[in-house]
């Protein structure tokens, strides 16, 4: 069973500056919930009971978000706002504990995951990158946990991207595709289009065998001078295997401005508090454009 999940949130978020100058990227809201809470809820739905946030200097607000807020709760209670009280109290899903470890310097995603090793221990674990928001039912990690029961080893979430975008992703070298599952013999971080073994790209959800820690421990730098998670996965495929799952759902790269705005529009069109007004607004925009 997969019970532990690592959420690396120590990156700088430079692509959405100035929003992230002070505010951690993972606290950016999509309608009314910050990205980090979507990821935590997705993990809880998948049966995760222990979440490790890998944070950095200036990111303590991320941990605060999951704490109780006695002053706020007292105020809401006094005013009889029970529905809001429930929302404020349930940022951390029931049955889930959230702890934090620090990444002392932004040495790369692989290094961030390695920093969680003392909490993860020697068991398979999940990794979720909260800036990859995936809206789907069931959640992407739940789909992966169900699949992992058959495949074991390393399992990553994948989707096809246009060839000209492969240099933004980890790309699988596929040996066999069966239904939604692609078995891979290799994985390359940010290849040039002419070098890419496929267009099947890794999205920010992983279930990993702890053998990756053996490689991450060596602190070898890869693409961009960073310690890459992709390299550690690729180096351990011979030992445990690697498969990619084409998940059901829509993924938004909220680490980019366009992806973040798309997530807000789509979520606003399905959220009961905003759907009607936002739909009317978009229709009015179309009329104005046509005129
Ligand atoms: P990104 O590649 O999106 O980097 O990291 P970033 O720093 O967050 O954003 P940009 O590129 O400057 O805009 C992917 C994930 O890995 C985490 C990030 O927090 C994000 O969840 N990460 C990255 C770390 O935790 N530590 C690192 O050293 C690097």
How much distance in Å is there from the Cα of 14 to the middle of ligand 1? Answer: 9
Q: Say if residue 288's pLDDT is above 80.
A: no
Between 287 and 127, the more confident residue is 127
- pLDDT score of 198 more than 80: yes
According to the model, what pLDDT value does residue 276 have?
97
Q: Is the pLDDT of residue 181 over 80?
A: yes
Q: Pocket of ligand 1, candidates 26, 223, 255, 258: which has the most ligand atoms within 8 Å of its Cβ, to mutate?
A: 255
Segment 83-121, tens digit of pLDDT: 999 999 989 999 999 999 999 999 999 999 999 999 999
Which atom of ligand 1 sits closest to the CA of residue 256?
A: 13
* pLDDT greater than 90 at residue 286: no
Centroid of ligand 1 to alpha carbon of 40 (angstroms)? 17
| Percent of residues, the chain, with pLDDT higher than 70 | 100
**In this predicted structure, what is the pLDDT of residue 200?**
96
Alpha carbons 61 and 19: distance in angstroms, whole number: 15
Share of the chain above pLDDT 90, in %: 90
Determine whether 137 is exposed, middle or buried from the number of CB atoms within 10 Å of its CB (0-12, 13-18, 19+).
Answer: exposed
CATH 3.90.550.10 domain extents, the chain: 4-255
pLDDT attached to residue 252: 97
**Residue 224: predicted pLDDT:** 85
What pLDDT, on the 0 to 100 scale, is given for residue 289? 72
How does DSSP classify residue 122? S
Atom index in ligand 1 nearest the CA of residue 25 equals: 8
Section 203-217 average pLDDT = 97
Q: Whose CA is nearest to atom 1 of ligand 1?
A: 11
**Residue 100 near ligand 1, beta carbon < 6 Å:** no
Compute the distance from residue 11 Cα to the ligand 1 centre, in Å. Answer: 4
pLDDT at residue 13 in the model = 86
The pLDDT assigned to 110 comes to 97
Q: 259 in ligand 1 pocket by Cβ < 6 Å? A: no
**Which parts of the chain fold into alpha helices (H)?**
35-45, 60-64, 70-78, 82-89, 109-115, 117-120, 140-151, 212-216, 229-234, 237-240, 257-270, 275-290
- Among protein residues, the one with the nearest Cα to ligand 1's atom 18 is 11
66-86 tens-digit pLDDT: 998 999 999 999 999 999 999
- 4-56 per-position pLDDT tens digit: 999 999 998 899 999 999 999 999 999 999 999 999 999 999 999 999 999 99
* Predicted confidence band of residue 222 (pLDDT cuts 50, 70, 90): confident
Measured by CA distance, the residue closest to atom 4 of ligand 1 is 11
Contact 117, 213 (CB under 8 A): yes
Averaged over 184-188, what is the pLDDT? 94
Q: Has domain 4-255 been given CATH number 3.90.550.10?
A: yes
Which atom of ligand 1 approaches the CA of 12 most closely? 7
- For ligand 1, whether the C-beta of 129 sits within 6 Å is yes
Average pLDDT across the chain, whole number: 94
Any ligand 1 atom below 6 A from CB of 7? no
Provide the CA 239 distance to its chain's centre, in angstroms: 25
State which of 11, 20, 36 you would mutate to test the pocket of ligand 1, scoring each by most atoms of that ligand within 8 A of its C-beta.
11
**Residue whose entry in the numeric block shows the structure tokens 């992703």:** 169
CA 59 to ligand 1 center in whole angstroms: 13
Residue for token digits 């739909």?
279
Which ligand 1 atom is nearest residue 111's CA? 28
Ligand 1 centre to CA of 9 (Å) is 7
pLDDT at 58: 87
């Amino acid at each position: 069973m997969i019970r532990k999940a690592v959420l690396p949130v120590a990156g700088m978020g430079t692509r959405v500056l100035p929003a992230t100058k002070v505010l951690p990227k993972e606290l950016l809201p999509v309608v009314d919930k910050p990205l980090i809470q979507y990821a935590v809820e997705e993990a809880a739905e998948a049966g995760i009971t222990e979440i490790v946030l890998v944070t950095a200097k200036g990111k303590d607000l991320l941990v605060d978000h999951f704490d109780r807020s006695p002053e706020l709760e007292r105020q809401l209670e006094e005013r009889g706002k029970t529905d809001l009280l429930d929302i404020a109290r349930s940022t951390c899903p029931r049955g889930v504990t959230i702890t934090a470890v620090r990444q002392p310097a932004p040495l790369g995603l692989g290094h961030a995951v390695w920093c969680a090793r003392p909490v993860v221990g020697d068991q398979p674990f999940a990794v979720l990158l909260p800036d990859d928001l995936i809206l789907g039912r069931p959640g992407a990690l739940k789909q992966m946990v169900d699949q992992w029961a058959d495949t074991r080893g390393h399992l990553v979430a994948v989707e096809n991207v246009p060839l000209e975008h492969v240099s933004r992703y980890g790309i699988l070298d596929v040996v066999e595709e069966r239904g939604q599952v692609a078995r891979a013999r290799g994985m390359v971080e940010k290849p040039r289009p002419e070098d890419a073994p496929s267009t099947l790209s890794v999205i920010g959800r992983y279930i990993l065998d702890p053998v990756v820690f053996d490689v991450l421990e060596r602190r070898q730098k890869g693409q961009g001078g960073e310690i890459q998670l992709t390299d550690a996965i690729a180096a351990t495929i011979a030992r445990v295997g690697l498969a990619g799952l084409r998940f059901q759902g829509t993924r938004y790269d909220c680490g980019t401005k366009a992806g973040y705005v798309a997530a807000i529009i789509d979520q606003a069109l399905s959220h009961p508090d905003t759907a009607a007004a936002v739909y009317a607004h978009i229709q009015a925009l179309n009329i104005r454009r046509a005129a």
